Amino acid sequence: MTAKASDPRGAGKRTRLTADARREQIIEAARVVFSRSGLAGTRTRDLAAEAGINEAMLYRHFPSKEELFEAAVAQPLEDAVAACVEFAGVAPAQFDATAELQQQQTRQFIYDLCAAMEEIAPLLGVVLFGDATEAQVYYKDRIQPSLAKIQTVIETNYASWPHRDFDPELVVESLFGLTWFLAVSEKLSGRKRNREEVAEQVMNLLMNGLKVPADQDIPNPDH
């Protein structure tokens, strides 16, 4: 009996992706693996398998596991934080000191930070709860400078509103931590909060908690 020749146009034929599309496919697969195993626990063969390719093709796009981690986890996280910082960085000359606009800007910043955290909370966990030494370096080099920029904006606009004496660094870190935990809570519990309502309530906690009542003197008037 003569064997039938296989048809090269059969169902096993793969669709060829462009270099950019393949790169994005690898990045998306890497996020899954890094979220599951962290940087130290991830092997290149696991990354290749998740992306449906071999290791040779993986290395064609990313010369090392560390470079792929940068593209899949570290850079998107930094970009998201930077976007929030950019919104927070209202130039002092353009800052309107009215209470209504202050609340509007603060509310929008919190809304944007919550939106960013919804995307980056799992990535933040990968970065900060993996290898302790790498986490410390990443925090100091890439997250702390962004938080410091937000703190600078707050300090620049101290004089624009009547407030109690407070530590801007503590406020910024608390807000960052609060929005991160809300994102984690939503993901783990499956409960979806209304982001506009969250931003409104957090803004009220922040602004009205620090605001000096009209019948009291403003502490530290030089601020």
Query: Of 172, 184, 169, 164, which Cα lies nearest the Cα of 124?
Result: 184
Q: In this structure, are 94 and 151 located in the same domain? A: yes
Residues in the chain: 223
Split at pLDDT 50, 70, 90, the class of 156 is confident
CATH number of the domain bearing residue 44: 1.10.10.60
DSSP 63: S
Q: Indicate whether 4 pLDDT > 50.
A: no
pLDDT over 70 for what percent of the chain? 81
Number of structural domains found in the chain: 2
Q: In this structure, are 182 and 82 located in the same domain? A: yes
Is 117 domain-assigned? Answer: yes
Q: What is the model's pTM? A: 0.69
Q: In this structure, are 51 and 148 located in the same domain? A: no
- Residue-wise pLDDT tens digits, 68-118: 998 988 888 778 777 766 765 554 444 455 667 777 878 888 888 888 888
Average pLDDT, the chain: 80
Split at pLDDT 50, 70, 90, the class of 9 is very low
Q: In this structure, are 58 and 103 located in the same domain? A: no
pLDDT, greater one: 49 or 206: 49
- Residue-wise pLDDT tens digits, 33-50: 988 888 888 999 999 999
Non-local CB neighbours of 9 within 8 Å, separated by 6+ positions: none
Q: In this structure, are 85 and 131 located in the same domain? A: yes
Q: What is the pLDDT of residue 112?
A: 83
Last residue of a domain, one of 63, 84, 101: 63
CATH number of the domain bearing residue 167: 1.10.357.10
Query: Of 107, 70, 72, 68, which Cα lies nearest the Cα of 87?
Result: 107
How distant is the alpha carbon of residue 165 from its chain centre? 29
pLDDT, greater one: 221 or 59: 59
Is 21 domain-assigned? Answer: yes
- DSSP annotation string for 93-113: GG----HHHHHHHHHHHHHHH
Q: What is the pLDDT of residue 53?
A: 95
- Residue-wise pLDDT tens digits, 132-153: 888 888 889 888 888 888 888 7
Q: In this structure, are 202 and 145 located in the same domain? A: yes
SS3 content of the chain, % helix, strand, coil (to 5): 70, 0, 25
Q: Is 163 helix (H, G, I), strand (E, B) or coil?
A: strand
Is 168 domain-assigned? Answer: yes
Q: In this structure, are 128 and 187 located in the same domain? A: yes
Split at pLDDT 50, 70, 90, the class of 58 is very high
Q: What is the pLDDT of residue 92?
A: 41
Q: In this structure, are 81 and 149 located in the same domain? A: yes
Q: Is 211 helix (H, G, I), strand (E, B) or coil?
A: strand
Is 6 domain-assigned? Answer: no
d(CA 157, CA 217): 19
Is 216 domain-assigned? Answer: no
Q: In this structure, are 103 and 132 located in the same domain? A: yes
Q: In this structure, are 117 and 188 located in the same domain? A: yes
Q: Which of 117-126, 181-190, 200-209 is least confident?
A: 117-126
d(CA 105, CA 207): 11
Q: In this structure, are 43 and 91 located in the same domain? A: no
Q: What is the pLDDT of residue 94?
A: 46
Is 114 domain-assigned? Answer: yes
d(CA 219, CA 76): 40
Q: In this structure, are 197 and 117 located in the same domain? A: yes
Q: How many CA atoms lie within 13 A of 91 on its CB side?
A: 2
Query: Of 118, 112, 137, 119, which Cα lies nearest the Cα of 127?
Result: 137
Is 218 domain-assigned? Answer: no
Last residue of a domain, one of 8, 33, 63: 63
Is 33 domain-assigned? Answer: yes
Split at pLDDT 50, 70, 90, the class of 3 is very low
pLDDT over 90 for what percent of the chain? 29
Q: What is the pLDDT of residue 93?
A: 42
Residue numbers of the domain that contains 46: 17-63
Handedness of CA 58, 60, 62, 65 (dihedral sign): positive
